[in-house]
Structures are given as C-alpha cells and as structure tokens.
C-alpha cells in the first residue's frame, strides 16, 4: 500500500526534474530582471514589468498555447532551436520545464525584487569606498543581503512548477514518462474509471512534497536570518 507504483515514481521523478530545472533556468534571468526593475529607470520599464507579470494574470492555457506557437516545431523560435542546437522542446520534458519556468517567473522576480529593494544602497556605497568595484559589491554585499528573497523566490517557483497544469498540458501534452508530471497524472486518473484511489495517492504525494519544500525553505530562511541579525 505504501509502495509506489512505477507510474507514480515516474510522475514524481518527472515533476522534481521539471521543477528543479525550471527554477535553475529562471534564477539568473529573474535576477537580471529584478535588478532592472528595482534599480534602473529606462524607457519601456513598464512594458517589461507587465510582460513579466503576464503569466500571473492570463489563463495558463493561453500561455501554453503561445509557447506552442512560438516554440513548436514550426514556430519561429522552435525552428531556430532545432537548427542551432538540434533541440526540440515541444512534447518533451524540457518543454514542460520551460512552461513551468514561464509560469513561475513572475513569482521569482517579485520575491527577488522586493528583497533587492530592501537592500540598503548606503551599504553598497560604503563597500565602494572600501575599494570594491560595482560587480564585486553586488557579489559580496547585495547578493548575500538579498539571499532570503532569492530563496523565497526559488521555493515559490519550485512550488509553482510542481502545480503547473494548464500551460504544460497545452504546450507539451500528457505523455507518460515524458511530460506526465504529478498533476497531469492525477488528472488522468480522475478521467479513468476506478481511478479514485490512485488519484488520492497522487494527491497525498503532492501534498507531502509541497510540505517538504516549505519546511526546507523555512529552515534555510531561519539560518539566513540568524546570520543577518545575530
């Protein structure tokens, strides 16, 4: 009863894989966008801000559809990816990771931006008078001070990736072993006669996974906070 079936393990593994890669891939671009939004003024800032937040407000299915149009085999970006790297993302787990990344991106940017705005720029000025050039100040003062925000953003993004459904199923479909993550597997069981027990098991797994992620982030956040305040 407690043993996981092959299908469950496959969905769990796939979900973790998609979640980790979507977050890892988002961190640097999100940091760059958060920095631009928090520290710079430039024409088109409002547009960038809106664009980044779009996945929060439009239906996920729309995002998935737009990804399909752009990155599908015949989409303009999809063709480039194919020609340059021989990479196909439509209907693959990489595509699922991209869908999850796009959906989680605004959450990550938001958390980072808030923590970046809370960093005292006077500390950065002090670091520069001590001989540190801009990028070194960022690496040694700014980034460590916004670490709790980066962590929060990563956890939020990861949780969002685990729950991603609409954009994923639209963009990369529901292929067992390739794109069938936990929510998709759960959905599949609800569409199958006598699938209630299996669906419930997946629901429990999802809840446990989410709780573990939350607990880990809480522990990390406390350690970071201790370092900053003690």
Partner 1 sequence: MLELHVTKRLGAVHVAAELACPSQGVVALFGRSGAGKTSLVNMLAGLLRPDSGRIALRDAVLFDSASGIDLPPERRRIGYVFQEGRLFPHMRVRENLLYGWRRAPADERRIRLAEVVDLLGLETLLERRPGALSGGEKQRVALGRALLANPRLLLMDEPLASLDQARKQEVLPFVERLRDDLDLPIVYVSHAMEEIVRLADTLVLVSDGRVVASGSVEEMTSRLDLRPLTGRYEAGTVIAATVAGHDPRDDLSDLAFAGGLLTVPRLDLPVGTHLRLRIRARDVALSLERPRGLSIQNVFPATVVDIGEEEGAQLDVRLDVEGAALWARITGRAKRQLALAPGTRIYALVKSAALDRHALGRQPAGGRFLAPGSKLNGA
Q: Considering only CA atoms, which of 216, 223, 212 is closest in space to residue 144?
A: 223
Direct distance between the N- and C-terminal alpha carbons of the chain, in angstroms, rounded to an integer: 47
Question: In the complex with partner 1, which residue's Cβ is closer, 126 or 219?
Answer: 126
Give dist(CA 31, CA 146) in Å, integer.
Answer: 10
Q: Which residues bind partner 1 (CB under 8 A)?
A: 120, 122-123, 125-133, 136, 140-141, 144-145, 227-230
- Helix (H), strand (E) counts: the chain: 12, 0
The two three-digit tokens of residue 45, written as one number = 């800032």
Q: How far is the CB of 132 from partner 1 (least distance, A)?
A: 6
Q: How far is the CB of 203 from partner 1 (least distance, A)?
A: 40
The two three-digit tokens of residue 17, written as one number = 């894989």
Question: In the complex with partner 1, which residue's Cβ is closer, 70 or 125?
Answer: 125
Q: How far is the CB of 118 from partner 1 (least distance, A)?
A: 12
Q: How far is the CB of 145 from partner 1 (least distance, A)?
A: 6
Question: In the complex with partner 1, which residue's Cβ is closer, 79 or 128?
Answer: 128
Give dist(CA 109, CA 34) in Å, integer.
Answer: 5
Question: In the complex with partner 1, which residue's Cβ is closer, 44 or 131?
Answer: 131
């Amino acid at each position: 009863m407690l043993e996981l079936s092959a299908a469950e393990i496959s969905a769990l593994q796939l979900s973790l894989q998609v979640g980790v890669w979507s977050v890892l891939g988002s961190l640097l671009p999100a940091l760059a966008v958060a920095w631009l939004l928090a520290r710079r003024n430039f024409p088109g800032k409002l547009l960038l801000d809106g664009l980044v937040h779009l996945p929060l407000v439009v239906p996920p299915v729309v995002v998935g559809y737009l990804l399909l149009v752009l990155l599908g085999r015949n989409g303009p970006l999809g063709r480039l990816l194919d020609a340059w790297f021989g990479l196909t993302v439509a209907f693959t787990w990489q595509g699922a990771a991209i869908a999850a990344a796009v959906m989680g991106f605004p959450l990550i940017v938001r958390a980072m931006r808030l923590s970046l705005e809370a960093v005292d720029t006077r500390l950065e000025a002090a670091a520069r008078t001590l001989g540190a050039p801009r990028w070194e100040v960022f690496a040694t003062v700014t980034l460590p001070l916004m670490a709790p925000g980066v962590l929060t953003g990563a956890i939020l993004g990861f949780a969002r990736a685990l729950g991603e459904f609409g954009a994923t199923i639209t963009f990369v479909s529901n292929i067992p072993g390739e794109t069938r993550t936990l929510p998709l597997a759960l959905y599949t069981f609800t569409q199958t006669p006598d699938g209630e027990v299996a669906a419930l098991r997946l629901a429990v797994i999802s809840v446990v996974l989410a709780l573990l992620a939350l607990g880990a982030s809480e522990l990390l956040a406390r350690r970071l906070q201790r370092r900053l305040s003690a």
